[in-house]
Every structure is written in C-alpha cells, then in structure tokens.
C-alpha cells in the first residue's frame, strides 16, 4: 500500500501551538487510476492516558477540567470529566504517564500496565494514544494533584466508584472517548 501513496506537497498552515499541515497526495485506486486529494492533518504529538483503580474500594480516579473545544461545540460549561492523560513530549509512554499521574492526580504509581494503543481521530489528527491502567491506594498519594502551575492547568481530582463512573457514561456526564474506552476495559476484563 505504501508504494501506492505519494506526497505531492506539504504546506504548514499553522505552527502556533502544534502543527497544522495541508497535504496534497496521490494514490492508485484499485481500477488503476491515480487519484489526488488534499487534506489537513494536525500534529500535536503522541500521548498517554491512564485509569487508576482501587480494587478494595472499587473506586477509580478521574479528573475534571475546562476543555475549550468542547465549550465551542456546545458543552455549556466546557468542563470535561476524563482519565488522566498527557503528551509524551520527549518521554516514552510509561515515563510520561507516571509523570502525568503525579502532576494531575497527586498519586505516584510504579506498576503501570499498557492495555492497548489507538488513534483517537485518525481523519484529522496524527496522535496515537497509549492506554494504561494501574492500581492505586491512599498510601500512594503524595500531593493534591491539579496539574502544573506553569502549564496553567486547573484540574480537579475525582475519586468515584466504578458503578457511578459507568452511570456517568450512561447519562452523558462522561463524554470523553479515552475515558469511556478505559472504563469499558476495566469492566469487560472484570478488573473492578
């Protein structure tokens, strides 16, 4: 398949926060004709996400924060409940998610388990997301979390039961895809 695709041109439309490119490419169709298309792709780097779970208490840790894109798309408050996540930057996925977990939730986790990886919006965004789970206990809490001040994060940490989290998916309080995927993984694999 790769031999059938040729990048004709690439134009950077924006590199303000991350990189938005306009790409013209051609490919051979099954009938032998060459077809040319132009698409835009947003490159924000790759990321990692994690769901912390406590088997004894049957609870999980989620976060709540303002997400501008949801606000401009009709989310009245712009607040989104989601699993802890962050961009890899220069880290490998495991180091990234350990760092993000402490920054956002205040918990230090050592035994993280990668469960899968997925493209979240492959029609327009290059990001691949690495999904993790990890057990937590109150003994692992080293600070209040909330994110890094210099990154202007304002994150609320939520500890809720797995049953309440699933109700939140059902009634629409949780609308974040990565969070729903991790919650379903926990339930389908009888982890909680």
Radius of gyration of the chain (CA): 19
Band (pLDDT 50/70/90 cuts) for residue 151 is low
Geometric angle at alpha carbon 125, from 172 and 121, rounded to 5°: 35
Both tokens assigned to 119: 């493209």
Residue with tokens 């490119």: 21
Per residue in 85-141, pLDDT (tens digit) is 999 988 999 999 999 999 999 999 989 999 999 999 999 999 999 999 999 999 999
pLDDT band at 178 (very low <50, low <70, confident <90, very high): very high
At residue 2 the predicted structure's pLDDT band, cuts being 50, 70 and 90, is low
Query: Token pair for residue 126?
Result: 């290059």
Kindly report the pTM of this predicted structure: 0.91
Cβ neighbours, 10 Å, residue 166? 17
pLDDT tens, position by position, 47-71: 999 999 999 999 999 999 999 999 9
Domains of the chain, residue spans: 2-43, 47-188
Alpha-carbon span 156 to 62, nearest angstrom: 9
Q: What is the pLDDT of residues 76-91, one digit of tens each?
A: 999 999 999 999 988 9
- The per-residue pLDDT for range 14-34, each reduced to its tens digit, is 999 899 999 999 998 888 899
What is the domain class of 47-188 according to CATH? alpha beta
pLDDT at 145: 87
Query: What is the predicted pLDDT for the residue at 17?
Result: 84
> Quick count: other Cβ atoms within 10 Å of Cβ 144?
9
Contact 112, 53 (CB under 8 A): no
Residue 186, CB half-sphere, CA atoms under 13 Å: how many? 28
What is the Cα–Cα distance from 25 to 116, expressed in whole angstroms? 30
Q: Give the separation between CA 145 and CA 89, rounded to whole angstroms.
A: 20
Q: What is the token pair recorded at 125?
A: 């965004």
């Amino acid at each position: 398949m790769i031999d059938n695709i040729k990048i004709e041109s690439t134009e950077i439309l924006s590199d303000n926060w991350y990189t938005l490119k306009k790409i013209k490419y051609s490919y051979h169709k099954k009938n032998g004709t060459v077809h040319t298309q132009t698409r835009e792709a947003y490159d924000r780097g790759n990321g990692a996400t994690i769901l912390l779970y406590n088997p004894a208490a049957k609870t999980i840790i989620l976060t709540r924060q303002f997400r501008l894109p949801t606000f401009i798309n009709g989310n009245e408050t712009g607040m989104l409940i989601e699993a802890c996540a962050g961009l890899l930057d220069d880290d490998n996925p495991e180091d990234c998610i350990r760092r993000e977990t402490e920054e956002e939730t205040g918990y230090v986790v050592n035994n993280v388990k990668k469960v899968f990886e997925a493209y979240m919006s492959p029609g327009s965004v290059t990001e691949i997301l690495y999904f993790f789970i990890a057990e937590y206990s109150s003994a692992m809490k080293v600070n209040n979390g909330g994110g890094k001040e210099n990154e202007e994060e304002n994150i609320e940490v939520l500890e809720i039961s797995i049953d309440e989290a699933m109700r939140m998916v059902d009634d629409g309080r949780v609308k974040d895809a990565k969070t729903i995927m991790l919650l379903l993984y926990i339930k389908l694999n009888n982890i909680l």
